[in-house]
């Protein structure tokens, strides 16, 4: 614990990844953990590991701002379910990691704490919205971290900061409390420096809970099992751009450079991609609808304190008609079946995490709605998550690589109940582990 706190003290002031820190709570938790071990008591999967939670997750007795000036002094009286689980597994809460306001955006900045910087190049963005977690991991301030993801918020900062971010299937990590308990658009998930560490953290986060009606019945402990696997003959669909989305040449080159790695493992790679022609439209409708529902109780006096993109999404959602939402859901169903049929021929789909390398901090990032220089920045993540809420018939996964790094990234897809349902995520984690072996985490650490 003292080693991590010392690292935070030295590194965090220049990067602003951990925005609320309670070192005394951490030291007290460490002493209690040592005492439990000395008494020979059973120890949790995460015994003694320090963790700082994303500042969208409520933590009892620790300030939780959601990155908004509306909540800059808010201290919850209780923990969210995911915090309860991680504490029960032995993790020790020491603070909170930075996020854009209400998690909206791919630049980790808010008016309460300011901006989090990329540890590999502080002139570049660290991504978002789980940017604080990604930077804390990349620099050794934390060994594990939680994050959340609606449109790439676990995946994009993982890519930009060279760590692992896994977006689980809806219900894999149950959400409570939640105003939209049946929604699968936003999820919680693990982040870590290696696939093995991410799997260990997922084993503590995952598992059923009656307070979440979509929670998956499988226990989380299954992700703690060894990830070794034979990949001989595994069929992989290989896509540089998901059939025509703009992708920076440096990103495409980084992806192609790793194709021989999979072939050396015995995989059969084939250039192929499903069609996602209307995915962007579907996502924007469902996202706006979700924002409008989530901010139902926000009055006009409070609306003026929200950042433009949050306010714009709420306003867009409030103008949607039942016909527009229904049409988006119908199109999403058709998209699911197209993806289901495509994946009958492959076990994995491999593609870039993001269409561009980390952008300059001084350059305004795309607001993902009203157009800008990087108007297609997140469409890869958006189209993938639309399929994510459904249950494909086999182990659908996407392992993503980014320019200038070796970040093995995987996405869990939920399979239906039955023979394959119990193994939906593990093949993806196994693939990530084998790919990660080609570039150990120690060799990827920033020089800061």
- What the block records as the tokens of 59 is 């933590």
Candidates 107, 155, 103, 123; CA nearest to 14 is 123
Own/partner pairs, 214-218, CB within 8 angstroms, 24+ separation = 214/170, 214/171, 214/174, 214/181, 214/182, 214/184, 215/171, 215/174, 216/169, 216/171, 216/172, 216/414, 217/417, 218/421, 218/422
Tokens 């021989």 correspond to 260
141, 7 contact by CB (below 8 A): yes
Catalytic entry in 68, 129, 148, 215: 129
For residues 430 and 265, give the distance between their C-alpha atoms in angstroms, rounded to a whole number.
12
Could you count the other beta carbons within 10 Å of the beta carbon of residue 221? 12
325, 331 contact by CB (below 8 A): no
352, 253 contact by CB (below 8 A): no
Give the pairing of strands 18-21 and 92-97. Answer: antiparallel
Annotation marks residue 129 as catalytic: yes
Catalytic entry in 130, 148, 153, 169: 153
* H-assigned helices in 236-352: 249-257, 259-264, 279-294, 300-303, 308-319, 322-343
Q: Mind telling me the catalytic residues?
A: 54, 129, 153
């Amino acid at each position: 614990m003292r080693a991590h706190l010392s690292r935070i003290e030295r590194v965090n002031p220049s990067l602003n990844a951990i925005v609320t820190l309670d070192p005394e709570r951490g030291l007290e938790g460490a002493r209690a953990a040592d005492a439990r071990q000395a008494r020979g008591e059973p120890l949790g999967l995460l015994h003694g590991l320090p963790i700082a939670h994303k500042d969208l997750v409520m933590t009892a007795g620790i300030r939780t701002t959601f990155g908004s000036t509306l909540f800059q002094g808010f201290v919850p009286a209780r923990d969210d379910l995911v915090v309860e689980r991680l504490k029960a597994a032995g993790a020790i809460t020491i603070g909170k990691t930075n996020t854009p306001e209400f998690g909206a955006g791919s630049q980790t900045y808010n008016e309460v704490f300011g901006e989090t910087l990329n540890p590999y190049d502080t002139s570049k963005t660290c991504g978002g919205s789980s940017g604080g977690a990604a930077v804390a991991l990349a620099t050794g301030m934390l060994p594990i971290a939680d994050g959340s993801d609606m449109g790439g918020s676990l995946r994009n900062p993982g890519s930009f900061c060279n760590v692992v971010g896994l977006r689980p299937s809806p219900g894999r990590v149950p959400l409570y409390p939640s105003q939209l308990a049946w929604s699968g658009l936003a999820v919680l998930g693990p982040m870590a420096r290696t696939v093995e560490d991410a799997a260990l953290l997922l084993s503590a986060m995952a598992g059923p809970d009656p307070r979440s009606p979509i929670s998956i019945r499988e226990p989380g402990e299954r992700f703690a099992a060894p990830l070794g696997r034979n990949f001989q003959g595994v069929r992989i669909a290989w896509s540089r751009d998901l059939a025509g989305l703009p992708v920076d040449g440096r990103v495409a080159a980084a992806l192609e450079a790793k194709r021989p790695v999979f072939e050396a493992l015995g995989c059969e790679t084939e250039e192929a991609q499903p069609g996602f022609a209307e995915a962007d439209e579907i996502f924007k409708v469902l996202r706006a609808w979700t924002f409008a529902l989530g901010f139902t109780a926000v009055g006009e006096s409070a609306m003026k304190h929200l950042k433009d993109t949050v306010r714009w999404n709420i306003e867009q959602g409030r103008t949607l008609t039942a016909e527009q939402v229904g049409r988006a859901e119908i199109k999403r169903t058709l998209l699911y079946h197209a993806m289901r049929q495509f994946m009958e021929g492959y076990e994995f789909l491999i593609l870039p995490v993001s269409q561009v390398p980390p952008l300059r901090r001084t350059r305004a990032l795309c607001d993902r709605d009203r157009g800008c220089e990087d108007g297609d920045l997140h469409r890869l993540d958006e189209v993938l998550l639309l399929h994510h809420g459904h249950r494909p018939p086999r182990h659908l996964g996407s392992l993503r690589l980014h320019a200038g790094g070796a970040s093995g990234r995987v996405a869990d897809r939920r399979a239906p109940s039955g023979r394959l349902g119990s193994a939906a995520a593990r093949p993806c984690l196994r693939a990530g582990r084998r790919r990660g072996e080609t570039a150990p985490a120690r060799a990827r650490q920033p020089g800061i």
